[in-house]
Structure 1
Amino acid sequence: MKITSVDCLLISEKLEDPWVMGLGTAYKRDELIVRIRTDEGIEGLGSSYHAHTPHAVKSLIESKLAPLVVGQSPLQIQSLWEKMFFGSIHLGSAAAQAIAGIDIALWDILGKVTGQPVYRLLGGGDDSGSGPRLAAYIGCQTMGIRDDLDSLADEARGYVEEGFTAVKVRGGANVSLDLAAVAAVREAVGPDVAVMIDANARYSWPEAVRLSKGLEEFDTFWLEDPFDFTVAVHKRELGTLRNLSHTAIASGGNVFTRFDMEDLVRLGGVDYLTPDVVKSAGISECIKIASLASAANIIIATHTYNGLGQVANLHFAAAIPAHIRGHVEWDAGGNNAFRDHLVSPAVRVEDGFIHVPDAPGLGVTLSEDAMERFAYEEGPEILGVPRRRAWAPRS
């Protein structure tokens, strides 16, 4: 079997209601889907994170990576990964995200050739006979920043009534509003539900210290990504911050390979690692990241978005050792067509648990009307805002 082509498909879903996070306001969802065809008629699907520059990542895949794999056997996944990685290492994180879509599609092909779901090829699964299910936490494009804290509390309460036991608030607006949002959600859901907050890397050191210490009062499950990832020392400072309070630290959704993750772990900055297979160079690389986490006794809490990338992340999460497997991110909000209509069958969620597709490969196909229904819309997915910092004395 030989790879005959690698194609990229850009799709969009316009949001009915804008969603606000620390980075800015989202008006749509985008996804970059990778499709690999073979000379035996078997096709594989994957997803690469678009990095808010989808045409650039698409071009990288088609012009740089596709020529490296076309004509090769799709079953030699590891050797193709190394060929792509070391052939594009000078392109940094963009290359890692581009590699992800091809790598995931190769695992989809291998699953179809062998008649096995990807999670089982990776050594995961259970003896239930119906495929594994994973505990979910509410994240993605939910629980956005808002002034109306009553509506935020109502949203959180609704998820708990559906059976979810963990919810994530979006932060990064300012420290006072972040603390007020967590306080409102904690009061709404009670003491037995995990409440996290994601600052989306918006804060300076003194702001992050104030936030981390303030979150202790609300038994906050974790503080995710308090620092800007462009700061060279952010991994070391995460470790310092972790030692200043009892609030656990989560990070890894914007750290792209095992090499960066190893630094994050070694410097003591995290209690939860949050890799995403569409960002962190695919399933192959994320399995290696899970091994790092296992050696350091750090929990993996898979970061993800709805869509095909969500499905790939489910297979990864189902395959990692149970002793380091945490909650998987899930968007249970209303009006989410990527979640409900992009792939067939749609991912099933019951009582706060996600069921991993059990058919060969990723276990899903693109819905027949996907490309028409989700025609790509030009323009930014998230309209960013300038960073505003209230500098305070260092603690």
Structure 2
Amino acid sequence: MSEPTAGETTAGAEDLAARYSRSMLGVFGAPQRVLVRGEGALVWDAQGREYLDLLGGIAVNALGHAHPSLVAAMTKQVESLAHVSNFFATPTQIELAETLLRLAEAPEGSGVFFTNSGTESNEAAFKLARRTERPRILALENAFHGRTMGALALTHKEAYRAPFEPLPGGVEFVPPNDTDALARALAPGDVGALFLEPIQGEAGVVPLDAEYLRAARELTAQHGTLLILDEVQTGIARTGHWFAHQGVDGVVPDVMTLAKGLGGGFPIGAVIAYGPRARALLQPGQHGTTFGGNPLGAAVALSVLGTIAEDDLLGNARRTGQHLADRILDLAATDPRVLGIRGEGLLRGIALADPVAPQVVSAALEAGFIINAANPCTLRLAPPLIITSDQLDAFVDALPGLLDAASAPADTEPAPTEKRS
């Protein structure tokens, strides 16, 4: 394990934080720490303190930090071509599109459009929905699809929407897991698309019922409505499947949106249009992007996908995710402050009895763990797919103390933890 570099001091960290506040727009608030390097599932801040990264950049760092295959792929590609305009194609772009279509089990006539982020993928999908020439689009209550204007119109949380209204129109929200409500909304036959997240991450890592997903597929097919699955957070092996919907028999979308784990930290996203009908909705000149699918991003994404397959990280996500779930359920049986755990694979929400999740997150950071509060009663974990059971055990073993610290007076420090290297 590498040692802290020279100059990693409290004074240096304070200086970096001050420079951040002077130079950056304040949309994210004050940073919790200034991180300077990482290795595997560990990161270090500007003071040389070590943390176990159980959030993975919010499900982005699929291979952890500084993974050798990702570094090698990026280095090799940047030595030849980093970027060309979309007037040209590159071998890496073509190979990545073919690989995604194969992993998605997409039928003949399907196609891929590359973007730079999840919200851009959903913007492109929003355009596909508009091209059906049907006036209505459905999304779910508690949905999160992004912050740009079209994606924001699909996002349910009022606090995100209100400052930017009027948003693009025609979007209606229906309750999740309510098949009757969905059937009523689709009945007039004028809905262009239904947007779903297989697991609603920002809502608290809440999976949609398998029966509901199957009903949504059947109903949308019956009414000629596009089923658009937002797999930005759940895709790329996060749930133990290449894409979360592949764990539900009979569910094949018309469109799927991706990003986050696809680049393992490099910004790249994708839209997969399943079959000729969806592919034909956007014609030449109707959409575009400058950086989407550039050779550097495509090479990195191919490395991520190849490493996941070669190292059986799909299996690791299933095994370690189940190990975490079992440990949390054992804890819940003896500690009433923990109610249980939701999610699949390595996208998990730990349900708390009291609304103390933000305080637990702060206590965890002090103790050397990076996690997230999806809502006041839910801790979200989305660690790198390379995480080990021993590393997850270190967090679960510490969780009762973190809950103690969350309810303790503000001047009480959580107990120090051992290194997790």
TM-score with structure 1 setting the length: 0.35
Larger radius of gyration between Structure 1 and Structure 2: 2
